[in-house]
Amino acid sequence: MLSLLTQTIGFASQPPSFAYDGEWCDQFGTYLKVTDAAITGRGAGGFDLMAPPGYTNPTVSGTRHHNGEEVAEYFAQNRDVNSYNPGLFSRFDWTTDHDNKVYMCQSVYDADSTDTATNAETADVNDLDGVGCGGAFPWSALTPKEEGLCRKIVDLPNTPGWSDASRKLYWADASL
């Protein structure tokens, strides 16, 4: 599932500035640049998203509470040229933990509409490091990007499709 690909994410509606604007790295070495107009990234993943028809970039559609924690929700449409789920809709859940560490989960990636994505279950904010993102993955733990590449050595010994000896270095170039 992990590959070095480029991803661009555009959001729906007209909001105030997004609280998480900036450049980020996650625990897999993925680079993300978040602005009011889009999220552009390189690294683990491999999707290209844009604002749904009739929406302007970016947006927060709102927040909901899950087990007492606030979760911000953002929507985008997968581009028609995507290998996976072309033309369908995605939702990203954003939250912070009690230490103000930022987390993101692409909780929906294949909805037939923004309404379907809106009504889908929120990712589990009580399991940020386990399988709280879709019941199979951890949330992406984001840290502000510093100089150089986003890099991370990760052990994936129990991940399907990887050997027990799998230890890989993932990195992403921020020069998009």
At residue 159, the pLDDT reads 52
Residue 143 has pLDDT above 70, yes or no: yes
The per-residue DSSP string of 110-173 comes to EESSHHHHHHSPPP-TT-TTTTTBTTTBPPEEEEE--SS-EEEEEE-TTSTTS-TT-EEEEEE-
Residue 65 has pLDDT above 60, yes or no: no
Looking at every residue in the chain, the average pLDDT score rounds to 69
Sequence-distant contacts of 70-73: CB under 8 A, at least 24 apart: 70/95, 71/95, 71/122, 71/123, 71/125, 72/19, 73/118, 73/122
Q: Read out DSSP for 35-64?
A: -SS-EEEEES----EEPPTT--S----EEE
User: For residue 118, with 0-12 CB atoms within 10 Å meaning exposed, 13-18 middle and 19 or more buried, which class applies?
Assistant: middle
Both tokens of 61, joined, read: 């559609």
Residue 41: what pLDDT? 64
| Position 43 confidence tier, pLDDT thresholds 50, 70, 90 | low
Distance CA 170, CA 3 (A): 9
Single-letter residue type at 165: A
| Average confidence (pLDDT) over 27-43 | 71
For 72-113, the pLDDT digits (tens) are: 777 777 777 777 788 888 888 888 888 889 999 988 889 998
> What does the block give as tokens for 169?
């270095």
In the structure, what pLDDT confidence band is assigned to residue 24 with cuts at 50, 70 and 90? confident
Maximum mean pLDDT: which of 1-10, 15-24, 64-73, 108-117: 108-117
* Residue 174, pLDDT score: 44
pLDDT at 162: 46
In angstroms, what CA-CA distances link 81 with 43, 77, 113, 147? 18, 11, 18, 32
pLDDT of residue 55: 53
Distance CA 46, CA 2 (A): 8
